[in-house]
Structure 1
Amino acid sequence: MKLSDSPTGGAMPRRVGAMEAVLTYLRGAIEGGEYAVGDKLPSEAELCRRLEVSRSVLREALRALQVMGLTASRTGKGTFVISRGPVEDPAFGEYAASDLLEVRRHVELPVAGYAARRRTAEDLDHLDQLLERMERESDNTAWVAMDTLFHLGVAQAARNPVFRKLIEEIQDALARQSTFLNELADPREQSNREYRAIVRALTDGSHDDAVAAMAHHLDRVETSLASPVRPGPPEGERRR
């Protein structure tokens, strides 16, 4: 059975990535009641056969469902539905997305402002070289690792070890969040542009521009998390 042949799949937009298509289908099946809370999802082999996707694609979609709080994996038993959703506040490690974002606004905005005033030539060189590598990188895993290093680099430029320690405390959650967003979409180019604006403000020594650039980045992260699966085009447009 292809995704487009299923009742839930009929509402699915075309021209989307395979993982996003699988995620949209499974999320719709859960939220629509096809799988009730407590139900076990079909095995990976069965889902791969039904949806005609590879196991790696399916596993990415299943991981996203877990992050959304819709399912839980039980070792040796399979994946079970624990909520019909919609889930408003996914968790990244031990931190909820809303808690993480709230703290980031209280930490990373002033950090950017201090960094604009206190950064050294070495700080700017490090961030610029790191961003150049990020702009060339096509592998999500490698990019996510550098993404975390970028935020640590801005904290280092603020020249306050407590700020860097705070970012280090949440860096695992930041990496999980970044991985999650990269699995659902491809925000690297947008993030790279936002980071370039931050580096430009730091280079100019502009406190206000640095804070504004970081705020713009966090606003976009919040928006992306609010709609983890992009809505499809209107019905008429799907046939074009």
Structure 2
Amino acid sequence: MNLSGRRTARRVSAMEVVLDEIRGAIERGEYAVGDKLPAESALAQEFEVSRSVIREALRATAALGLTVSRTGKGTYVQAAGPVENPIFGDYTARDLWEVRRHVEVPVAGYAATRHRAPDLERLQRLVAGMEAEESDLEWVALDARFHTGIAAACGNPVFTTVIEEIGEALRQQSFVLNQLADRRECSNAEHRAIVEAIAARDSERAEEAMREHLARVEQALAGIVGGS
């Protein structure tokens, strides 16, 4: 199946198109719950993409709760549609949301009043780097460093430890959102608003900017799960 010319309304990745095809086949019942999906090599040949693209798509179907990978056995369908509370790494989306809104919002406020000049310079460099970055994977890495950097700027190492603990889950969630919800441009603007509030030492504005950012992340994820 040649993917060229598909879905040109906006720039989409091969991974996104492959995921849409696999997800659609599962939701239409072409692959029933319990069925084993074709091997990565067979899917790569069918879609005329690399196996790395197939692996990315299958990681996304697993995050959405559609499939489960069994070591040495392959990938199996475990649900006919996306689960309400998808899993990223070791944590569910709800786990991440509950922790982030109670940790990262006050952290942004603390960072606004406690940051030092090097902290602010680091955050500004990261925002500029994300705005210029073309690679999705590199952007996700910068995004993780950005959120850890805000925690570091607040001067409380416990907060930094918490953000680092959920870092891999956040990277997986960010990658899926960027691929399926076209979040990068919006995230860049939201990140810049957070940094501008921190630079102004305005704790209330920093907290509100972070709260808005997290709310938009949750909305985007809800849209993916709902199929919109």
TM-score (structure 2 length as normaliser):
0.88
**Count of aligned residue pairs for this structure pair:** 224
Q: How does 1:1-240 map to 2 (within 5 A)?
A: 14-15=7-8, 16-228=12-224
CA contact (8 A) 2:82 2:226 kept: no
Q: Does the residue aligned with 1:227 lie in a helix, a strand or coil?
A: helix
- Structure 1: where are the runs of 5+ without partners? 5-12, 233-240
- What CA distance in whole angstroms lies between the structure 2 residues aligned with 1:19 and 1:141? 13
- What CA distance in whole angstroms lies between the structure 1 residues aligned with 2:165 and 2:33? 34
Residue type of the partner of 2:186? Q
The alignment yields a C-alpha RMSD, in angstroms, of 2.3
CA contact (8 A) 1:3 1:25 kept: no
Residue type of the partner of 2:199? T
- What CA distance in whole angstroms lies between the structure 2 residues aligned with 1:153 and 1:122? 11
- What CA distance in whole angstroms lies between the structure 2 residues aligned with 1:217 and 1:3? 33
Deviation at 1:3? Answer: 7.5
Change in 2 beyond 3 A, CA 1:230/1:182: farther
Residue type of the partner of 2:193? A
Deviation at 1:64? Answer: 0.8
- Structure 2: where are the runs of 5+ without partners? none
| Identity within the alignment, % | 58
Change in 2 beyond 3 A, CA 1:59/1:106: same
- What CA distance in whole angstroms lies between the structure 1 residues aligned with 2:92 and 2:184? 22
Deviation at 1:230? Answer: 9.1
Deviation at 1:51? Answer: 3.4
- What CA distance in whole angstroms lies between the structure 1 residues aligned with 2:40 and 2:183? 28
- What CA distance in whole angstroms lies between the structure 2 residues aligned with 1:45 and 1:18? 16
Find the counterpart in structure 2 of residue 236 from structure 1.
none
Q: Does the residue aligned with 1:110 lie in a helix, a strand or coil?
A: helix
Q: Does the residue aligned with 2:65 lie in a helix, a strand or coil?
A: coil
- What CA distance in whole angstroms lies between the structure 1 residues aligned with 2:103 and 2:125? 24
Change in 2 beyond 3 A, CA 1:86/1:113: same
- What CA distance in whole angstroms lies between the structure 1 residues aligned with 2:89 and 2:145? 18
Residue type of the partner of 1:14? R
